[in-house]
Amino acid sequence: MADIDASAGAVAGEGTRVAGDPGNGSRLVPPDAPPAYHRLLERLGQVSDLRATTSLLHWDEEVNMPPGGAAARAEQKATLSRLAHQAFTAPEVGEWLDELAPWAAQLDPESDAAALLRVTRREYDRSRRVPPDLVAELARASSQGYQAWVEARAQRRFAPFAPALARLIELRRQMADALGYAEERYDALLEEHEPGMRTRQVRELFARLKAGLLPLVQAIAERQDRVRDDFLRGDFPEADQWALTLEALRAIGFDFRRGRQDRSIHPFTAGLSPGDVRLTTRVDPTVFGPALFSSLHEGGHGLYEQGLPTAWQRTPLADGASSAVHESQSRLWENVIGRSREFWIFFFPKVQARFPHQLAGVDAEAMYRAVNRSRPSLIRVDADEVTYNLHIMLRFELELALLDGDLPVDELPAAWREKTRAYLGLEPADDGEGVLQDIHWSWGGFGYFPSYALGNLIALQLWEAALRDEPALPEQIARGDLGGVLRWMRAHVHRHGARYEPLELVRRATGSELGEEAFLRYVRRKYGELYGL
C-alpha cells in the first residue's frame, strides 16, 4: 500500500541476529579478487552512501523538515541523485566490469562475488541505456504532471490532468524504447521493479487470478450482514493506538535498536541500512485498525531491510529482490499474520486493555471477523485482501493499454468507470474517487502497480511453504511467539538480498513457480468460513 523507499545500499548494523541470517558466512571478496574488483566495490559503496543519504533526505522531509526547507531540499535531492547516477554510470565502472568478466567467468556462479557482478552488470547496462536528456525531460514532465494532478484532484475532474498524462505516456514510451525489451514495451518498465519478469507472465497470472476472485467477491457482496465491524469506529485516542503499534512491531521482531517509527502523512519505510530502518505511520483517532495494520505493513518492509546480509553492506546485493518480493513481506505481516485468527488470540487482550470501554462486549473472535470484513470499495488503499488485487488489475490493464496506444488518454476515465463496474460492481461519483485517486501516474510511474498484487501472491506462496516446514507456526502465533515466522523469512528470503531475480527467489524459497493458487486457496478458505460460503 505504501511506498517502500529502500533503494539505499546497506551497511552493517549491530543488532541481534535471528538464526538463518547469513551475513557473516558471506565471502564477498575472494582472496584472488583483482584490483578492479576492489575499485568497483569502493565505487559501489559511494553510490550506496549517496542513495542512503537521499533516502534520509526524503524521510526527513516527510517527518521533520519545516516548511521553509522545501526549496533547498529539492535542490539537495536533485544534486545527490545526479551524483549517484554519475558515479554509478561512469565509463570506468563499465571498464572494470569488462576487465573482470574473464575472472567472473571462472567463479562459482553461486558465489557472492559472482552474484554481485551479475546484479551490478544488469543495473549498469540498464542505467547506461537511459539517455540523460530523456531523464531530465521526464523529471520536468513528472513535476508538471504532479502539479496538474493536484489541480485536477482538487476539481475532481480528469480533464486538467489529461495533457500532462499524455506527455508522460509519450516520454515513458521513449524510455521503454531506449531501455529495450524482449517481447513488448511494458516489459522495459516492469523490469525496473521486477527484474526478469515479463508482461506476458503478469497478464496470464492476472487473468487466472481474476477468474478466481470475481465469483468470490460477488458472493461476499451478497452476504454483507455476516460480518460486523461497527465497533471499530469510535474514540480511540492517538497515544494508545501509537503504543499498540509499537507493541505489535516489537512482537513481530522489529528491532528498535536498528530502527524507529515516526508519524507521517503517507506511511512509508526508509531502509538507510540494515542497522537503520525507519517506518512511518499515521493514526486516525476515530477508527481502530488502519494505524495498526499500516504499522504491520511497514514493519514487514522493515523486517526485510533489517534482515539483509550485513556482509553485503554498501553493495547492490544488500537490497530487496524486487518490489513484489518487498510487498510480499509487508503484506505477509499486515494480512496473513496480522489479520489471522491466531494473531488476534494473542493480540486482542492488549488492545482491549487499552480500550476497555470502546471494546466492551467484543472478544478476539469478533475482532478477527471485524478486521477481515470484505466489501467492494472504490479506493484502492482502503481495499480488503479479497478485492485489493482487482484494483491492481484494473490499473495494470489500463496503463498497458495507454502505453500501447490502444486507449486514448481522453477515454481513460470512461474505461476506468467501466472496469470498476465490471470488477467491483461500483460506480465512482467523480474522477476524484476514480481515475485520479493514485499518485503513481502523476509522475509517470507506470509498471509499478503489478508489484502490489504479485506481492500478495508471493506472500501466500511463502506462507504455505513456511507452514510445510513448520506446521506449528499458527500455534506459536497464538501464543505471541512470532519468531518462527521471522526465522523462516530470514532464512528463505531476507538472507538472499538481491542475489536472485524474483521468480528465481520464489522458486527456491517455495519449490514452485510464481502462481495464483496459494492466494486463491487462502482467500477461499478464510473468506468462505467468514461469510459462510
Binding site for a second copy (CB under 8 A): 10-15, 45-46, 49-50, 52-53, 56-57, 60, 64-73, 75-76, 78-80, 83, 255-260, 272-276, 313-314
Query: In three state form, how does the secondary structure of 212-256 look?
Result: HHHHHHHHHHCCHHHCCCHHHECCCCHHHHHHHHHHHHHHHCCCH
The residue type of 52 is: A
Are 510 and 464 in contact, with CB atoms under 8 Å apart?
Answer: yes
259 vs 484 by CB, closer to a second copy = 259
Query: Which lies closer to a second copy via its Cβ, residue 140 or residue 208?
Result: 140
Beta bridge partners, 269, equal 4, 279
**Comparison of 275 and 455: residue with beta carbon closer to a second copy:** 275
Question: To the nearest whole angstrom, how small is the minimum distance from the Cβ of residue 52 to a second copy?
Answer: 6
- Residues 439, 220: Cα–Cα separation, whole Å: 29
Q: Which is nearer to a second copy, 305 or 397 (CB)?
A: 305
Query: Which residues, at least 6 apart from 21, have a Cβ–Cβ distance to it below 8 Å?
Result: 307, 309, 310, 490, 494, 495
- Is the CB of 84 or the CB of 216 nearer to a second copy? 84
CB 41, min distance to a second copy, A: 12
| Nearest residue to 271 via CA among 1, 7, 3, 2 | 7
In the complex, what is the shortest distance from the CB of residue 302 to a second copy, in angstroms, rounded to a whole number? 11
Give me the helices (H) in 376-425, please.
Answer: 385-404, 412-424
Mapped onto helix, strand or coil, the DSSP state of residue 128 is helix
In 3-state terms, what secondary structure has residue 57? helix
Say how many CA atoms lie within 13 Å of 207 toward its Cβ.
6
Which of the following is catalytic: 62, 191, 298, 464? 298
Q: Are 99 and 34 in contact (CB under 8 A)?
A: yes
- Cβ–Cβ < 8 Å for 223, 528: no
Euclidean distance between CA atoms 174 and 278, whole angstroms: 35
Query: Could you tell me which of 523, 524, 506, 505 has the C-alpha nearest to residue 515?
Result: 506
CB of 161 to a second copy, least distance (A): 26
298 given a catalytic annotation: yes
Smallest separation, CB 42 to a second copy (Å): 10
Query: By C-beta, is 66 or 356 nearer to a second copy?
Result: 66
Of 123 and 255, CB closest to a second copy: 255
Identify which of 359, 434, 426 has the alpha carbon closest to the alpha carbon of residue 395. 434
CB of 56 to a second copy, least distance (A): 6
What are the catalytic residues?
Answer: 298
